[in-house]
Chain A
């Protein structure tokens, strides 16, 4: 039996992939905004990596100045629309809300943010314009949230930004790497256009590296921002990964984002390996595409699971099964097709030792699809082309205050620096680097 596109009809799929948290109605937004205490030096703002003035924008909603609320949000975070949908608010702004301490539900900041940013996007209200030109040009590598946020900030500062993007679309993981019921592709692309409107040219299908080395960009431009993400999902390194039916997480999620859902391929019995947030996205997406059974296999226990608690709850409510302390040993198949994953139960070894297999626990989980969600590898091929680039393991090393790398004129931010975090972190690093670049350009050419 080979894999086939989902058997669910378009209507069912649309329902399954509809917004997890639909946009507030006007009344809902007012009701929620009225609960906000308007804290001073608000914990929610301090918990936001981009420092959005949350109480201010909520009060603007309450005062029925929704465009103003949008302006407040986008001033701090030009990808406020995606962040409203995809941010782990429970561990950021909403987690910090003082109402949690009153034994009350925190203000639903993410949903209010979406209410305000949708208002702005739909009306195409543009608040930002290019600054007085300083006669400087910066190359931005990567059209993801880090690169575009950096470019947007640079243009505001009067610095021309030109983006080089390896793929045929912009937005990075906003467009292809987040579960479709959180952010839909049309929205992600519309947001990219909204950001670009300030004047950001993008060279698509233009990978930087061997043919277009960073050193050349450093010569042609006044500075370069490296906003590339990570590469492929790390390989399991076990037998059977080449069988038909074996996938890597981001490819699978990308298919739900860039294809029509009816054309997405899904197994009937899916095993997802790994238990991070991406693994959850894969597992829930597989269920919503119509998989009968989805099992997450993780070599450690529930407590060590990297996925956020609310993601775990989401997966459980979607009927995803979890197998803890289970290590995949090989993917088994017949006629080139995946038929199962051979696993063994493991237990933590003594301190500092590897996990230990428990003898006699070898078993096979039958499945027709395996998705590896082990986190992504770094883009070593690119980094190797940049002489003198200091790395710390898989990460590019930068000065956290300016985004400057060890290479003069080369700045970096986003997943390539932090190893893969939230959209909001990438946006903030792009912003920081833009100001670092301005500082760098000013220092090279003293004011006259």
Chain B
């Protein structure tokens, strides 16, 4: 069995799968159930001055027959008394000493308030703190959450206040609701953050009821912007994790905890390949319950075995060198689509995608009442849209036809052009 354990700025966890600070980590009852199900760690739902919630408070984006592609919430931080939370956190840490237990915090932007909550929280014996600088709704109107996380100076300042008294690792949770997440990441690290977690939810309006004209979730005829999460946000989260992990101007390297649409072992591996040490999950648990972690553990272990990895350290960050600027990509690399006629079911989706949306490189022929589709190799630009829409896995593949041209990136091309050593590349003749 490969070793799935991780060490995250000194915090040990039997596996990288943590519950994100969210409704599933609202109580000792839930966290105990989660740990029993196999979760390696949890970030306790944000504690602070208890609030009052509204109903309804969640809404979802369904696609075709797939439910909850995206989830939106206008729920705030904990609505339970601070004392209850702290007592339960202490209890859980005692019962599960080998699991990672962090606590998410959010209080008013006052030094004393932060000092107070940090001390009282650490008294529980928890393993670390997560500063919630990300909540995009409700709390931000009160000057907390993303109101802090969107201003580098505030993020830095509050992290400093926390670090003045904290004895456990401090992780700052970043909001994606900014133009460049790296500025906030750098500020938090400058402020002393030991780790970063990202992303928090994305500001959103998920949809509108066409009968009542009220956006969802509806609260007596009105709604509010909420935080978007779930499978739909994964690509955005992956990119932001990469941006932070690869940031050359970062004051120093800190461990990252990846969050955003993680549903399966492979989602988690992707975040880790881009530099995350742990991953945090919420929506998938809200959709399917804690039991999904079993597949995540088994799937990751199997993948590691197949790849010959014995420890999570073997692959964390392994994809980082594979992401580069567009200007470094090879202009001379060429691929062409190929349709395996034995697998083709003649649905015509490749044809119409190419014809209307792409580069008119697929030919349709009627043969004995069946439509046959064939790639016109010398017109195909290798965009691979046809492969993306083909419902039969493996039917359309991309074949390399680079030939013996040397690797030449845009940056190299510009240089060679300027030096007069190369003629301009002719535009494609596909129109």
Interface residues of A (CB under 8 A from B): 30-31, 34-35, 37-43, 46, 62, 98-99, 101-102
Is B368 interfacial (CB-CB < 8 Å)?
no
Contacts of A102 in B (CB 8 A): 345, 391-392
Please, could you name 21 A-B residue pairs with CB atoms under 8 Å apart, sorted by A? A30-B65, A31-B65, A34-B64, A35-B65, A37-B349, A37-B391, A38-B349, A39-B347, A39-B348, A40-B347, A40-B348, A40-B351, A40-B352, A42-B347, A42-B348, A43-B371, A98-B346, A99-B345, A101-B346, A102-B391, A102-B392
Contacts of A39 in B (CB 8 A): 346-349
Contacts of A34 in B (CB 8 A): 64-66
Taking CB as reference atom, which chain B residue is nearest A39?
B347
Is B221 interfacial (CB-CB < 8 Å)?
no
Contact A41 B364, CB 8 Å, known A98-B346, A101-B345, A102-B391: yes
Taking CB as reference atom, which chain A residue is nearest B364?
A41
- Give Cα A233–Cα B346 distance, bound, in whole angstroms: 42
CB distance from A25 to the nearest CB of B (A): 14
Taking CB as reference atom, which chain A residue is nearest B373?
A40
CB-based A-B contact count at 8 angstroms = 38
| Contacting residue for A40 out of B64, B65, B66, B349, CB 8 A | B349
CB distance from A63 to the nearest CB of B (A): 10
Taking CB as reference atom, which chain A residue is nearest B366?
A41
Q: Which of B365-385 contact A (CB under 8 A)?
A: 369-371
- Give Cα A182–Cα B314 distance, bound, in whole angstroms: 64
Contacts of B352 in A (CB 8 A): 40
Interface of B, helix, strand, loop or mixed by DSSP = loop
Contacts of B66 in A (CB 8 A): 34
Q: Which of B325-346 contact A (CB under 8 A)?
A: 345-346
Contacts A40-B347, A102-B391 aside, 18 further interface pairs with beta carbons under 8 A come to A30-B65, A31-B65, A34-B65, A37-B347, A37-B391, A38-B349, A40-B348, A41-B371, A43-B346, A43-B370, A43-B371, A46-B369, A62-B64, A98-B347, A99-B345, A101-B345, A101-B346, A102-B345
CB distance from A9 to the nearest CB of B (A): 41
Most buried by B among A31, A34, A37: A37
| 3 closest cross-chain pairs (CB), A and B | A40-B348, A34-B65, A40-B352
Q: Which of B1-59 contact A (CB under 8 A)?
A: none
CB distance from A166 to the nearest CB of B (A): 38
CB distance from B1 to the nearest CB of A (A): 36
- Give Cα A31–Cα B62 distance, bound, in whole angstroms: 13
- Give Cα A147–Cα B349 distance, bound, in whole angstroms: 38
- Give Cα A192–Cα B96 distance, bound, in whole angstroms: 72
Q: Which of B52-94 contact A (CB under 8 A)?
A: 64-66
CB distance from A96 to the nearest CB of B (A): 9
Contacts of B347 in A (CB 8 A): 37, 39-40, 42, 98
CB distance from B386 to the nearest CB of A (A): 12
Interface residues of B (CB under 8 A from A): 64-66, 345-349, 351-352, 364, 369-371, 391-392
- Give Cα A209–Cα B290 distance, bound, in whole angstroms: 78
Taking CB as reference atom, which chain A residue is nearest B389?
A37
Contacts of B346 in A (CB 8 A): 39, 43, 98, 101
CB distance from B360 to the nearest CB of A (A): 14
CB distance from A144 to the nearest CB of B (A): 29
Contacts of A31 in B (CB 8 A): 65
Most buried by A among B66, B348, B364, B392: B348
CB distance from B402 to the nearest CB of A (A): 31
A98 touches B345 (CB 8 A): yes
Contacts of A40 in B (CB 8 A): 347-349, 351-352
Taking CB as reference atom, which chain B residue is nearest A102?
B345
- Give Cα A57–Cα B121 distance, bound, in whole angstroms: 59
Taking CB as reference atom, which chain B residue is nearest A41?
B348
CB distance from A111 to the nearest CB of B (A): 16
- Give Cα A35–Cα B64 distance, bound, in whole angstroms: 9
CB distance from A328 to the nearest CB of B (A): 39
Contacts of A46 in B (CB 8 A): 369
CB distance from A105 to the nearest CB of B (A): 14
- Give Cα A30–Cα B63 distance, bound, in whole angstroms: 11
Taking CB as reference atom, which chain A residue is nearest B369?
A46
- Give Cα A46–Cα B392 distance, bound, in whole angstroms: 22
CB distance from B65 to the nearest CB of A (A): 3
Most buried by A among B65, B66, B347: B347
CB distance from A72 to the nearest CB of B (A): 18
- Give Cα A249–Cα B257 distance, bound, in whole angstroms: 75
CB distance from A106 to the nearest CB of B (A): 11
Contacts of A30 in B (CB 8 A): 65
Contacts of B351 in A (CB 8 A): 40
Contacts of B65 in A (CB 8 A): 30-31, 34-35
Contacts of B391 in A (CB 8 A): 37, 102
CB distance from B347 to the nearest CB of A (A): 4
Taking CB as reference atom, which chain A residue is nearest B348?
A40
CB distance from B368 to the nearest CB of A (A): 12
- Give Cα A28–Cα B259 distance, bound, in whole angstroms: 35
Taking CB as reference atom, which chain B residue is nearest A35?
B65
CB distance from A66 to the nearest CB of B (A): 14
Contacts of B371 in A (CB 8 A): 41, 43
- Give Cα A35–Cα B65 distance, bound, in whole angstroms: 8
- Give Cα A99–Cα B64 distance, bound, in whole angstroms: 18
CB distance from A115 to the nearest CB of B (A): 15
- Give Cα A308–Cα B347 distance, bound, in whole angstroms: 26
Taking CB as reference atom, which chain B residue is nearest A34?
B65
Contacts of A62 in B (CB 8 A): 64
Contacts of B64 in A (CB 8 A): 34, 62
- Give Cα A414–Cα B345 distance, bound, in whole angstroms: 33
- Give Cα A106–Cα B326 distance, bound, in whole angstroms: 43
Contacts of B392 in A (CB 8 A): 102
Most buried by A among B369, B370, B391: B391
CB distance from A57 to the nearest CB of B (A): 16
- Give Cα A30–Cα B62 distance, bound, in whole angstroms: 12
Taking CB as reference atom, which chain A residue is nearest B353?
A40
Taking CB as reference atom, which chain A residue is nearest B355?
A40
Most buried by B among A40, A41, A98: A40
Taking CB as reference atom, which chain A residue is nearest B391?
A37
- Give Cα A225–Cα B361 distance, bound, in whole angstroms: 47
CB distance from B367 to the nearest CB of A (A): 13
Taking CB as reference atom, which chain A residue is nearest B350?
A40
- Give Cα A31–Cα B64 distance, bound, in whole angstroms: 8
Contacts of A37 in B (CB 8 A): 347, 349, 391
CB distance from B149 to the nearest CB of A (A): 38
- Give Cα A42–Cα B65 distance, bound, in whole angstroms: 21
Contacts of A35 in B (CB 8 A): 65
- Give Cα A30–Cα B345 distance, bound, in whole angstroms: 23
- Give Cα A37–Cα B389 distance, bound, in whole angstroms: 10
- Give Cα A62–Cα B62 distance, bound, in whole angstroms: 12
- Give Cα A39–Cα B392 distance, bound, in whole angstroms: 13
- Give Cα A189–Cα B269 distance, bound, in whole angstroms: 62
Contacts of B348 in A (CB 8 A): 39-42
- Give Cα A42–Cα B352 distance, bound, in whole angstroms: 11
Taking CB as reference atom, which chain B residue is nearest A101?
B345
- Give Cα A69–Cα B371 distance, bound, in whole angstroms: 25
- Give Cα A102–Cα B66 distance, bound, in whole angstroms: 21
Most buried by B among A30, A38, A39, A99: A39
- Give Cα A40–Cα B391 distance, bound, in whole angstroms: 13
CB distance from A234 to the nearest CB of B (A): 33
CB distance from A355 to the nearest CB of B (A): 34
CB distance from A393 to the nearest CB of B (A): 27
CB distance from B245 to the nearest CB of A (A): 37
- Give Cα A98–Cα B348 distance, bound, in whole angstroms: 10
- Give Cα A116–Cα B69 distance, bound, in whole angstroms: 27
CB distance from A369 to the nearest CB of B (A): 43
Taking CB as reference atom, which chain B residue is nearest A32?
B65
CB distance from B68 to the nearest CB of A (A): 15
- Give Cα A31–Cα B351 distance, bound, in whole angstroms: 26
